[in-house]
Amino acid sequence: MGGKIYQWNDFARNRRIRTQVCVIGTGCGGSTLALHLAHSGIDVALIEQGGYYPTGAFDNHELNMAGMISADRNLGTDTDGSISLTYGNNVGGASVHYWADSYRTPPDRLQLWAERYGIENHSLNDLNPHWDVLERDLHVHAATEPFFNRMNQLVRTAAGKLRWSGHRVPQARHNCQRSGHCMQGCAFNAKQSQLITHIPRAISLGASVYADCRAREFILEGDRVRALRARMIDRPSQRENGVELTFEADVFVVAAGGFGSSTLLLRNGWKQRLPALGEHVAINPSVFIHALYPEDIIQWRNIPAAFGVDEFRLARFDTDGNYSNGGYLLMPNQLQPAALAALLPGFGRQHRDWMQQMPRMGGTIAWIDDVDGELGRITIDGDRRRVEYGFGNITKQIIRDNLKKQALLNFTAGATEVIVPDARATVLKNINEIQRIDSIPLEPAGLLLAAPHPAGGCRMGPDARTAVCDSEHRVHGLQNMYISDSSVFPGGVSVDPSLTIMAFSMQAVRFIQARHFSDATVASG
């Protein structure tokens, strides 16, 4: 018998719900884990504080879709106001608005996590079978020629001229219509988000989803979680409506995302129990520039990133340990007109002049690989979350090097102007002006950045003093609570993290089954 999706107006009074596994969060982690548990005949309840929006509700209007599928309508920032916090708040999580880039974790990253942080059971040999399943189920394939928009073509050509290594980006898409509305959710069911893949499959196997339901308080009995109290949210007002659902389960899994999981546990007052909670937060700070071209670019059509430059993915240091260059993955950028207007610097006539040339506006973006020792943290002020990320010395050097490489790439591609989104609205007219980037102050609110790939906050590791969960995803000191999302990563993945999250979650299924449901059939995909 199939499960069901419950929403904000389905409960008029308090309810007590019994399930075998209660999963908080419906993004890449929670949905993947729920599917493979349900595949083994285990009863699963998924809790999601955001709303359920079927693709038939998508209208491709930027502001409307931001209200549906993006937390804080994409207006949330870190404490300095420098970094836009980009994450999902809907059934399907950030996978509904992500670009669908789908990379296997680089082997060097898994090796680093094993050697430096003591992570076990997550090697290439452990994860490769999961990736085989995921890539088949999600139609992952390298971008083909029809999906290269003009900006992707220019980036590929320029990278070739500069002799920078690049690649066709692996995509989780099927029957893509090239509309360019990936960040507004795909109205064509082509982008293989959790909303149209793992969640409906899990429901068909008996899992139930409770949308508009905010997890609040864990009830402990000794070293076990007995229940979770959650409150229903009135969707029109976004306020709790007074209805409380109490979930009783054999196992609880926190999968609320890189920003959400540590926040939930901090609100439960667990910082003293778990000193590493909220620490070591990576955000993949994303630096971007705009560029004006002599031809129409129309950057908001077709898929965002068909070609990526990986020449500088790993940071390079000299023999004395000083930073040299690199530490980022460089991509073409895609911004819809309203987002482009918001992210172009300047005011008045300058901004208007650029917007009048919007069809000729292109640009690039880079995911900066967070520097260990210069990571951020999440704290709680009352019920309010604070994300702090102060840029350290090496991170600042990476930002400057990255801005210069982006400017060089765009000029090589034929740009007539490069626009840096800093507080001064720095405009570069030619390659000879690139060194002006060295004088841009990197201070709070001095440069626009985004944080699309949060990680950490619930770091995995063997020591409860420095990690929140062990290598089986189980929270230190608790017998039946697990964490299954990007918050367990010791740092950034250095590529889009979606497939890493899913493969880690499939590995977590094995540990949960072995410890709590040994009579269940092992999930095989």
Residues in CB range of 184: below 8 A, 6 or more apart: 58, 60, 61, 62, 65, 66, 69, 97, 336
Residue 413 placed within a domain: yes
List pLDDT tens digits, range 21-45: 999 999 999 999 999 999 999 999 9
Residue 341 placed within a domain: yes
Do 467 and 424 reside in the same domain of the chain?
A: no
Q: Return left, alpha or beta for 337; rule: phi > 0 is left, psi -120 to 50 is alpha, else beta.
A: alpha
Do 131 and 150 reside in the same domain of the chain?
A: no
User: To 10 degrees, what angle do helices 393-412 and 150-162 make?
Assistant: 100
Do 163 and 123 reside in the same domain of the chain?
A: no
Residue 255 placed within a domain: yes
Contact 47, 5 (CB under 8 A): no
Q: Rounded mean pLDDT of 493-519?
A: 96
Residue 500 placed within a domain: yes
On average, the pLDDT of the chain sits at 95
Do 437 and 488 reside in the same domain of the chain?
A: no
Residue 324 placed within a domain: yes
- Residue 229's pLDDT band, with cuts at 50, 70 and 90, is very high
Report which secondary-structure segment, H or E, holds 260. helix 257-267
Do 254 and 204 reside in the same domain of the chain?
A: yes
Do 424 and 363 reside in the same domain of the chain?
A: yes
Residue 523 pLDDT > 70, yes or no?
no
Residue 69 placed within a domain: no
Residues in CB range of 484: below 8 A, 6 or more apart: 23, 29, 30, 33, 253, 254, 255, 473, 504, 505, 508
Residue 522 pLDDT > 60, yes or no?
no
The residue range of the domain holding 338 is: 145-180+284-451
- Residue 149's pLDDT band, with cuts at 50, 70 and 90, is very high
Q: Which two three-digit tokens encode residue 9?
A: 């107006």
Name residue, tokens 């007002």: 237
Residue 365 placed within a domain: yes
Q: Rounded mean pLDDT of 498-506?
A: 98
Mean pLDDT is lowest, of 128-132, 183-187, 264-268, 488-492, for: 183-187
Contact 377, 279 (CB under 8 A): yes
- Residue 476's pLDDT band, with cuts at 50, 70 and 90, is very high
Q: Which of 397, 426, 451 is the last residue of a domain?
A: 451
Q: Which of 406, 430, 451 is the last residue of a domain?
A: 451
Separation of alpha carbons 451 and 286, rounded Å: 6
Q: Which of 413, 428, 451 is the last residue of a domain?
A: 451
Is the pTM here over 0.85, yes or no? Answer: yes
List pLDDT tens digits, range 237-289: 999 999 999 999 999 999 999 999 999 999 999 999 999 999 999 999 999 99
Do 166 and 272 reside in the same domain of the chain?
A: no
Q: Rounded mean pLDDT of 432-453?
A: 91
R_g of the chain computed on alpha carbons: 22
Q: Rounded mean pLDDT of 422-431?
A: 94
Do 360 and 390 reside in the same domain of the chain?
A: yes
Do 37 and 111 reside in the same domain of the chain?
A: yes
Report which secondary-structure segment, H or E, holds 513. helix 498-516
Do 395 and 310 reside in the same domain of the chain?
A: yes
Contact 39, 205 (CB under 8 A): yes
Do 114 and 240 reside in the same domain of the chain?
A: yes
470: domain CATH number is: 3.50.50.60
Specify the number of domains making up the chain. Answer: 2
Do 274 and 292 reside in the same domain of the chain?
A: no
Residue 73 placed within a domain: no
